[in-house]
């Protein structure tokens, strides 16, 4: 029998993170959206320490028992926690010192010795470049081995937390003539000579989180800072597997990014329902279809859309924890949730009219924040292309 309820430990985690969001993130949400400053919001330092302590305590409880054949591990925990925290504020969630998109790559690939040496992580992920957009295989940043060091040269754009982070995980090519197989990721501490933040973007949404451009000019890092296997695969099949290993990072992170949209959309729906309740309108699920008002009909549709996206996200995270191939499911969850978050938040603005469009409430901010979730970590179009390739059994050269 299928059980679609979260187990008690994950329900407790969700409740804890929701309380954290309501008491810690929501009260400063408008402040840091308006300031859009480069400095880390001072409140997040203390909140980050509190969050880390809560996660550590919760993780110890989880380690007590792990049922065979049905494991809810770190992917599911991060997905549930992300949803609850993004109910509070997506931008502040991304700016938390204990969270970074590059952390997942380090946790997945780095050895225990490397993690101990590198210390506490707040790692950004530097992939996108001018001219290559969502085509990760077309990366031009190079990494050349010189003795016991890698020398990085290139330019990265739209790096989330690239200004405030403590480290950056950089995707670079060992040989640009070899295509996908030569792409590797490198761990670069902030302050390394040759790495320069050249611009911080002004954005439509997630303004509490910085987005930076970073240039690497003869930036040297130790040989050991390459994450994973340093060898370039020789055969076509081996090359495919090698790049698949690099791209596997996305199979873990896309459901977590999709959970951002689920949390944000829930926030928009909850606020909309609260505002309508003040006007005397509450949802009555016992009504027949012909008895529904136009607004009620819209809200039921939004709720159904939200629920379907959430279930796709949870399934993709569960598959990752249980070592099931989830590349297609991760893309499905990201595509569905990204679109859903944008559509739900915009419809909530429309339903609430003046209150939705003005800064009196946070609905307009939710709508602005929602759009980037449909773009970063692979656009809507890229996700649909990945899904189509999986369904049709075609590779990237056969279906572009």
CATH 1.20.140.10 residue ranges of the chain are: 237-392
Using the predicted structure, report yes or no on whether residue 72 has a pLDDT greater than 70: yes
Q: pLDDT tens across 292-351, in order?
A: 899 999 999 999 999 999 999 999 999 999 989 999 999 999 999 999 999 999 999 999
Mean pLDDT of the chain: 89
pLDDT of residue 65: 44
Q: Which CATH number fits domain 237-392: 1.20.140.10, 1.10.287.130, 1.10.10.10, 3.40.50.300?
A: 1.20.140.10
- Other residues' Cβ atoms within 10 Å of the Cβ of residue 346: 19
Q: Does domain 8-106 have CATH number 1.10.540?
A: yes
Return the higher-pLDDT residue of 92 and 58.
92
| Topology of the domain covering 118-232 | Butyryl-CoA Dehydrogenase, subunit A; domain 2 (2.40.110)
Q: pLDDT tens across 124-162, in order?
A: 999 999 988 666 778 999 999 999 999 999 999 999 999
Rounded CA-CA distance 345/367 in Å is 5
pLDDT band for position 42 (cuts 50, 70, 90): confident
Using the predicted structure, report yes or no on whether residue 391 has a pLDDT greater than 90: yes
What is the bridge-based pairing of β-strands 167-173 and 149-160? unpaired
Rounded CA-CA distance 6/329 in Å is 19
Angle of helix 236-278 relative to helix 327-357, nearest 10 degrees?
30
Whole-angstrom CA distances from 310 to 66, 383, 386, 399 are 24, 17, 20, 29
Q: pLDDT tens across 214-258, in order?
A: 999 999 999 999 998 888 766 666 555 555 555 667 888 899 999
CATH 2.40.110.10 residue ranges of the chain are: 118-232
pLDDT of residue 53: 62
Q: 383 exposed, middle or buried (CB, 10 Å; 0-12, 13-18, 19+)?
A: buried
Per-residue burial over 219-230, b = 16 or more CB atoms within 10 Å of its CB, e = otherwise: bbbeebbbbbee
Q: pLDDT tens across 108-122, in order?
A: 778 888 888 998 899
> Which whole number is the average pLDDT over 263-267?
98
CATH 1.10.540 residue ranges of the chain are: 8-106
pTM score, two decimals?
0.90
Question: Of 212, 221, 243, 223, which Cα lies nearest the Cα of 101?
Answer: 212
pLDDT band for position 195 (cuts 50, 70, 90): very high
Residue 197, C-beta contacts closer than 8 angstroms, at least 6 positions apart? 162, 163, 212, 213, 214
Tokens of 47: 């909140």
pLDDT of residue 147: 97
> Which whole number is the average pLDDT over 5-14?
93
Using the predicted structure, report yes or no on whether residue 28 has a pLDDT greater than 90: yes
């Amino acid at each position: 029998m299928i059980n679609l309820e979260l187990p008690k430990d994950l329900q407790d985690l969700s409740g804890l993170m929701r309380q954290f969001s309501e008491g810690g993130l929501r009260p400063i949400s408008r402040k840091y959206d308006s300031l859009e400053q480069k400095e880390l919001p001072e409140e997040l330092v203390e909140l980050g320490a509190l969050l880390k302590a809560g996660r550590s305590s919760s993780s110890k409880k989880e380690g007590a028992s792990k049922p065979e054949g049905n494991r809810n591990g770190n992917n599911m925990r991060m997905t549930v926690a992300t949803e609850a925290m993004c109910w509070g504020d997506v931008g502040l969630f991304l700016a938390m010192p204990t969270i970074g998109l590059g952390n997942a790559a380090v946790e997945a690939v780095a050895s225990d010795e490397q993690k101990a040496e590198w210390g506490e992580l707040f790692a950004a992920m530097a992939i996108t470049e001018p001219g290559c957009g969502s085509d990760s295989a077309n990366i031009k940043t190079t990494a050349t081995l010189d003795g016991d060091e890698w020398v990085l040269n290139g330019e990265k754009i739209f790096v989330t937390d690239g200004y405030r982070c403590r480290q950056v995980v950089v995707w670079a090519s060992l040989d640009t003539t070899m295509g996908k197989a030569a792409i590797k990721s490198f761990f670069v501490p902030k302050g390394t000579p040759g790495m320069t933040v050249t611009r911080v973007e002004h954005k439509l949404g997630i303004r509490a989180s910085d987005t930076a451009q970073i240039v690497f000019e003869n930036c040297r890092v130790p040989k050991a800072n390459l994450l994973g296997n340093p060898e370039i695969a020789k055969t076509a099949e081996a090359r495919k597997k090698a790049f698949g290993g690099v791209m596997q990072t996305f199979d873990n992170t896309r459901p977590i990014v999709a959970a951002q949209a689920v949390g944000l959309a829930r926030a928009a729906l909850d606020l909309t329902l609260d505002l309508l309740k003040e006007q005397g309108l509450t949802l009555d699920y016992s009504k027949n279809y012909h008895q529904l008002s136009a607004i009620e009909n819209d809200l039921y549709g939004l709720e159904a859309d939200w629920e379907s996206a959430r279930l796709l996200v949870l399934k993709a995270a569960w598959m990752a924890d249980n070592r099931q191939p989830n590349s297609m499911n991760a893309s499905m969850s990201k595509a569905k949730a990204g679109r859903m978050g944008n559509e739900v938040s915009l419809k909530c603005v429309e339903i609430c009219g003046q209150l939705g469009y003005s800064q009196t409430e946070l609905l307009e901010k939710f709508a602005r924040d929602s759009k980037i979730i449909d773009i970063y970590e692979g656009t809507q179009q890229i996700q649909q292309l990945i899904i189509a390739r999986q369904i049709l059994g075609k590779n990237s050269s056969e279906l572009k």
